[in-house]
Amino acid sequence: MRAPSQKLIELLKPFELDPLKCVGQGYDGASVMSGIHGGVQARMKGAGYRNATYVHCASHRLNLVLAATAEGHPLMKSFFDILDLTYSFMNGTKRHAVLIDVQDERYPNVQALELAHSYSTRWSSRSLEVERFLRRFDCILDTLSIFGNDNDADTSLAAKSLLGSLQTKKFMTILVYFGRLYDYSDFCTKAFQKSTATVSSCLILLADLRERLVNFDFDKVVEYAKDLSGKYEIENFDVRDTIRQRRLPERFREGYLNSSVGHTNASNFEELEILLRQNVREILAELDARFGTDQSGIMKAADCCLPRSQNFLNKQELNTLSELYAIDIKDCEIEVFRSFIARKDESQLNTLIDVLDVIDKDIFPDVFNLYQILVTIPQTSCKVERMFSSVKRIKTRLRSQMTTERLNHLALLSIEKDIAETLCYNDVIEHFKQMKHRRFLL
């Protein structure tokens, strides 16, 4: 992609940066950006930034993991379809007002919650959708029951259909399962979206998420789902199947095997638990596929640079990164630095930045350069993408003729709203008053 790479080079020229000191470039996973031949990252390397290692945004990768596992199985896809259909049903003006009134009646001293809609490209949208659905499940059932008796036939039919889909133990179990799953993954999602995300913090959070998934307690999920089912008087495990079962020929009946292996549906808690365990295994496999590839040795090097690691400053683990950035660390420097760190309080050295803060550049020059590179390599591009989202919200169809200068100013106020909110409006007005006279006689 020649145009974006050329634009990037033009933007970097005024800063007079040394291309060889640019150690990383981060984008999303689109082929136009990440392509190894014609992508922006490849063209930037060809333009002199050969040390700028491409890093796929960590938040994008985690979002792809959760999206793939939520939509890859028919049962999970059907579950999220029901959530989206319920959101669409409640989105009408009258229905939305009734939902708010029901919440005010049930929870008089608590602010009413809006149902959330999930988007495959928006981080945490599925988590918010499940969390609010679980918190206001009783209000949703009450609202659907009200519209189930509506005079309008289409509204009544849609409400009864949704009510039948929601009032099942299977739906409740999947809802509780995803609620707990997203509780675990939200910590990683929020941390990966921060501009201060580092390699070491990503490694620690990913290791914690993987451990929680491996030890996922399905018994608690089923137990809590049963308690909620009793609370909301849900008796049926699933929506009654009205499709007539095919009758097997006589010659096949003796050899017919009734097993849950390979099934995409479940008729009891045991079969449903098997499918949920399969979903967790798929998440673990996706995590390994998305985060396991480490061609540049960045993740391994970052892991062995943490004092808690069993391979702390193992030169073999650092070789790939050392060769990539032409850093030749001597064995004696590594040994002395290990002894230096051993005398420090390791409980205060949890991240690469903590270690970098205690390194003396004059005493350990090569080790300092290595840690500085690892801290500098970008791990997320979320903040940049939020800028594009801001511009899209500012320049709407009604503002199509806005000048570039005005768009830049409004975008700056929107993007840097944290700084803008600290400004004193009186000082701004006073400054405007002292500017040159702008009044014209007509």
Q: Which tens digit of pLDDT belongs to each residue from 205-218? A: 888 888 999 999 99
Give the residue with greater pLDDT, 329 vs 257. 329
Whole-number pLDDT of residue 262: 47
Instruction: Count CB atoms within 10 A of the CB of residue 36.
Output: 10
**pTM, rounded to two decimals:** 0.75
The helix (run of H) or strand (run of E) holding residue 403 is none
When mean pLDDT is compared across 13-22, 88-97, 119-128, 205-214, the lowest value belongs to 119-128
Instruction: Count CB atoms within 10 A of the CB of residue 219.
Output: 8
**Three-point CA angle 348, 354, 360, nearest 5°:** 115
User: Do residues 185 and 128 lie in contact, with contact meaning Cβ atoms separated by under 8 Å?
Assistant: no
State both tokens at 302: 């970052």
DSSP letters of 104-131?
HHHSTTSPPPPPP---TTSTTHHHHHHH
Cα dihedral sign, 189-195-200-201: negative
Provide the total of helices (H) and of strands (E) in the chain, helices listed first.
Answer: 23, 2
Whole-number pLDDT of residue 173: 93
Rounded CA-CA distance 318/398 in Å is: 55
Whole-number pLDDT of residue 143: 93
Rounded CA-CA distance 319/365 in Å is: 17
Whole-number pLDDT of residue 221: 92
For the chain, the average pLDDT equals 83
User: Do residues 305 and 313 lie in contact, with contact meaning Cβ atoms separated by under 8 Å?
Assistant: yes
pLDDT of 352 higher than 60: yes
Which of these, 226, 144, 143, 142, lies nearest to 177 by C-alpha position? 226
Place of tokens 């009544």: 156
Class of residue 347 by CB neighbours under 10 A (exposed 0-12, middle 13-18, buried 19+): exposed
The predicted model gives 328-338 an average pLDDT of 88
User: Do residues 191 and 59 lie in contact, with contact meaning Cβ atoms separated by under 8 Å?
Assistant: no
Rounded CA-CA distance 60/123 in Å is: 8
Helices (H), 108-168: 125-135, 137-148, 153-166
The predicted model gives 118-126 an average pLDDT of 71
Largest CA distance in the chain: 100
When mean pLDDT is compared across 49-58, 106-115, 216-225, the lowest value belongs to 49-58
State both tokens at 190: 């929020």
- Going by the DSSP 8-state scheme, the letter that residue 152 receives in this structure is S
Q: Angle between the 125-135 and 58-71 helix axes, to the nearest 10 degrees?
A: 50
pLDDT of 176 higher than 90: yes
Q: Which tens digit of pLDDT belongs to each residue from 218-260? A: 999 999 999 999 999 888 888 764 445 556 566 555 554 444 4
C-beta pairs of 15-21 under 8 Å, 24+ apart in sequence: 19/47, 19/48, 19/49, 19/50, 19/51, 19/52, 20/48, 20/50, 20/51, 21/51
Whole-number pLDDT of residue 439: 63
pLDDT of 26 higher than 80: yes
The helix (run of H) or strand (run of E) holding residue 368 is helix 365-376
Rounded CA-CA distance 203/169 in Å is: 37
DSSP letters of 248-298?
PPHHHHTT-----TT-S--SSHHHHHHHHHHHHHHHHHHHHHHHS--TTSH
pLDDT of 102 higher than 90: yes
pLDDT of 53 higher than 50: yes
Whole-number pLDDT of residue 243: 44
CA distances (Å), 337 to each of 302, 307, 370, in order? 16, 11, 13
